[in-house]
Amino acid sequence: MCGIIGVSGVPDAARLAYLGLYALQHRGQESAGIVAIDADGTARSHRGMGLVSENFDDGSLAGLPGDVAVGHTRYSTTGSTVLANAQPCSVNTRCGPLAIAHNGNLINAGTIKRDLVARGAIFTGSSDTEVLVHLIARSAGQTVEDQIRDALEQVDGAYSLVITVGRTMYAVIDSRGFRPLVIGRLGEGIVVASETCALDLIGASITCELRPGDFVRIEDGQVTHLPRLSPRPVSRCVFELVYFARPDSTVFGKSVDAVRRELGRQLAREKPAPEGEVVFSVPDSSNAMALGFSEESGIKLEYGLIRNHYVGRTFINPTQALRVAKVKIKFNPVREVIQGKSVVVVDDSLVRGNTSKELVQMIRSAGAREVHLRLGSPPITGPCHYGIDTPTREELIGATHSIEEIREFLGVDSLGYLSLDGMLTAAGKEDTGFCHACFSGHYPTTTPDDLVKLRHASPLIATPA
């Protein structure tokens, strides 16, 4: 998953992009980058591995002059964790410097890449986004807009993109609308971002959320809607609302906080825990769900687990060994809340089960009498092909074990998952088409070609991370 931002027509655009990336840090912590374009159309880039704060300082931002900038925070879902895959991708094309920031996954990138390589194309990294850059640069389209459209017609899957060609910026979302993208205004300028929380931070007012298939040009403080991409059934990623987006954002026209509270309420209706004396969340993604569960059930909400905020999301780490060790660094139980009690723990989802198993052990060692785990989404039974970093089916505990086996593995007294329909209703299925493939197995596209191969492919040129 990734966070993307574009700033156009605002002095010192790179500084604003930098601030916006801070608000989007939760969407990717492997690398961060900004490309800025100055008044002469010269593009300058600064990218690095790690967090936004680790990559930028006054000096690097001073080296990015201009009133147009595009920024990106990444965690890899295709392509390995190396600097060569850090974004924005920036290249020189016949139409001028091109920079592209991509959130999503192209499911046919492997096939296209093989074809391009056979025809002599050179790739510096292994990300699917570079495929798109090649398609744009090679297109026979008359205008830049034709070239972008031509490239997008050849790719399939999930893409929310901010692209700059020269000083002109484009924002576009695939017709299924998997990933969010929002537009705001800041003085005379325009800002585009993955989530509204980034606009809030830089003081931009929210103008509109891009709809699936929207393609806009941003120039001189104007947003021009270009002909939309060919329509497809809308399938917004429900996991954005369940887990990924920040609760202070509005995503797909919905308050993430409000949806999560409703998920918690629905969970309490579907899977009550009458034995529970206190309820608490696994912070932070399920805070609002635990609140909803408490409101509906009448069980008192407490802070039973404290999260260390200086540790990244556990899944971001590539190795299993690191992932397990990090759970303890990340969470600590509050004994006074837990000791001698029957506790209800609310989490948003269960992936491999590792974090939760360790957490349950921690909660028991803090003296819990009973532990009842409630999950604000159904069992995850398949990988996401559209940009969320879920492991292979074999590693997904919900795909390989029954509910009773999972309960036993986690060591909880009871386990309750929210139903698929309950989740979709709480997320607002009446007015939004959702992708729920990772829960239901109903994938809105064909199966990706060699996604796994692409994901673990090394870049042709190894760049020191």
Q: Is 351 in the site for ligand AMP (CB under 6 A)?
A: yes
C-alpha 197/C-alpha 193 separation (Å) is 9
| Region 358-377 residues binding ligand AMP, contact defined as CB under 6 A | none
Q: Is 267 in the site for ligand AMP (CB under 6 A)?
A: no
| Region 280-299 residues binding ligand AMP, contact defined as CB under 6 A | 282, 285
Specify the stretch interacting with ligand AMP by CB under 6 A; choose among 32-40, 41-49, 136-144, 346-354.
Answer: 346-354
Q: Is 67 in the site for ligand AMP (CB under 6 A)?
A: no
From candidates 184, 292, 333, 353, binder to ligand AMP by CB under 6 A:
353
Which one, 95 or 399, has the nearer CB to ligand AMP? 399
Using a 10 angstrom Cβ sphere, with 0-12 exposed, 13-18 middle and 19 or more buried, the burial of residue 145 is middle
| Region 296-335 residues binding ligand AMP, contact defined as CB under 6 A | 313, 315
Q: Is the dihedral of CA 391, 439, 403, 247 positive or negative?
A: positive
Q: Is 439 in the site for ligand AMP (CB under 6 A)?
A: no
Q: Is 73 in the site for ligand AMP (CB under 6 A)?
A: no
Which one, 210 or 290, has the nearer CB to ligand AMP? 290
Specify the stretch interacting with ligand AMP by CB under 6 A; choose among 246-254, 259-267, 295-303, 345-353.
Answer: 345-353
CB of 352 to ligand AMP, least distance (A): 4
Which one, 183 or 351, has the nearer CB to ligand AMP? 351
Q: Are 273 and 298 in contact (CB under 8 A)?
A: no
Name beta bridge partners: 89: 100
Phi/psi at 114 (5° precision): -60, -40
In 186-250, alpha helices (H): 196-202, 238-239
Active site residue 2: yes
In 219-272, alpha helices (H): 238-239, 256-270
C-alpha 92/C-alpha 43 separation (Å) is 9
Q: Are 335 and 366 in contact (CB under 8 A)?
A: yes
Q: Are 390 and 384 in contact (CB under 8 A)?
A: yes
Which one, 183 or 360, has the nearer CB to ligand AMP? 360
Q: Are 128 and 204 in contact (CB under 8 A)?
A: no
From candidates 347, 415, 427, 455, binder to ligand AMP by CB under 6 A:
347
Specify the stretch interacting with ligand AMP by CB under 6 A; choose among 131-139, 196-204, 273-281, 353-361.
Answer: 353-361
| Region 382-421 residues binding ligand AMP, contact defined as CB under 6 A | 388-390
C-alpha 22/C-alpha 5 separation (Å) is 11
Q: Is 240 in the site for ligand AMP (CB under 6 A)?
A: no
Which single residue brings its beta carbon nearest to ligand AMP?
Answer: 315
From candidates 266, 356, 372, 435, binder to ligand AMP by CB under 6 A:
356
With CA atoms as reference, report the closest residue to 85 among 115, 114, 105.
Answer: 105
Q: Are 335 and 363 in contact (CB under 8 A)?
A: no
Q: Are 267 and 346 in contact (CB under 8 A)?
A: yes
Supply the residues annotated as catalytic: 2
Residues making contact with ligand AMP (CB under 6 A): 243, 282, 285, 313, 315, 347-356, 388-390
